[in-house]
Structure 1
């Protein structure tokens, strides 16, 4: 991916006490790009289409895939749905668990959970897959709510996923007054911002420096993120 001119990195001085934290999955908790891009490459090949370069395939990681297939792949809506079905079949068999938890993330979730701060997952990945991945890596236990896209993509935009996560948390009586989103892409910033929520971006994900615009902070390690979430 060609990185635009870097935007100024927001200060990492955040003093607010958070009552709830929403986490993105791909690029934030797990390094899932290898499984996603390999399944995408096989999808393009299966459909008889040119396979994009590794850098181009990485652009698909993060946003709702149906949207990316139309934006980056130039597909029509019907063609993108056909491609999505091919991708999901391949990803379910070979790609979903071709990922790894980023260093320090397990300990971070453990500490935030132990501090009594409710956690929710808000990902554009299908909810069934996201739940399976968290369970596989032993991370599901830390989350009060796991929210993802619906299978028919009627809920896939990050703003819609965040809305559903907040709804479920509210039903559980969670204090949402000071909620923060943690993600790695501009889609996280925009999706959370649609509901008036601030976002902390992680540098270890798949976004470019320019995507930090609008975030309240950018962190380079799980320890630094822990300090911002727990004080």
Structure 2
């Protein structure tokens, strides 16, 4: 079945009124997917002696690595975790890029008065390393990594933590932007609207069937879909 993954809001409503935009990191702002795939292949092959398919790897993106490696590696999970970051760390900038126009789009959001943040399942150290490498750290009012909450995507805790730190209390006025089913379910569980990016490497049919509020074809589409509400506090 074919689907329209264009930028039309799914429910055909007008712009949504929000006060903040929270972004996933991997596959949403940064094109880390090739590095993630390569590092998974290396780690699984070295520690477990086999290589998972890309489909298996992609299905785990959005959940904490410790959970993924615990599931597949059992007692070797911690060893896989260490190997993953040792192998990927020196390849951060050489194997990763920023998606087209996301930086000027976020700058424009901030100029228009929206609060902005990152909510990712990546470790804090790694998250800050990426943002510093691409000179993006100053673009965000809050950064929530896997280290900041006991519960993780698809549970709502990471998004609710970001809201608390932004001193916001109306989830309907906070938009989450992501590329994966774990992102979408996290937003739905938090009561937030969700925008799916069409440059996702994930299964678009699966993501579409889970009913994102709208899709964005390119970064600046987001600016055409939102309008600012007055501060809640």
Q: TM-score, normalised by structure 1?
A: 0.83
CA distance in 2, matches of 1:14, 1:188: 23
Residues 96 and 61 (structure 1), Cα distance of their counterparts in 2 relative to 1, 3 Å cut: farther
Matched positions, count: 221
CA distance in 1, matches of 2:42, 2:177: 31
Contact 1:69 1:80 in 2 (8 A): yes
CA distance in 2, matches of 1:137, 1:198: 28
Q: Give the corresponding residue for 1:199.
A: 194
What RMSD in Å do the two structures reach over aligned CA positions? 2.6
Q: Give the corresponding residue for 1:64.
A: 64
Which structure 2 residues correspond to residues 23-34 of structure 1 after superposition, within 5 A? Answer: 23-34=23-34
Residues 80 and 48 (structure 1), Cα distance of their counterparts in 2 relative to 1, 3 Å cut: closer
Q: Give the corresponding residue for 2:231.
A: none
Which structure 2 residues correspond to residues 63-142 of structure 1 after superposition, within 5 A? Answer: 63-70=63-70, 74-76=72-74, 78-95=75-92, 98-142=95-139
Matched, 1:18 2:18: yes
160, 170, 176: which is aligned to 2:157?
160
Q: Give the corresponding residue for 2:226.
A: 229
182, 186, 189: which is aligned to 1:187?
182
**Per-residue CA shift, 1:138-180, capped at 9, x if unaligned?**
21111001111119x845435232122122112xx68766111
Which structure 2 residues correspond to residues 140-155 of structure 1 after superposition, within 5 A? Answer: 140-150=137-147, 154-155=150-151
Q: TM-score, normalised by structure 2?
A: 0.83
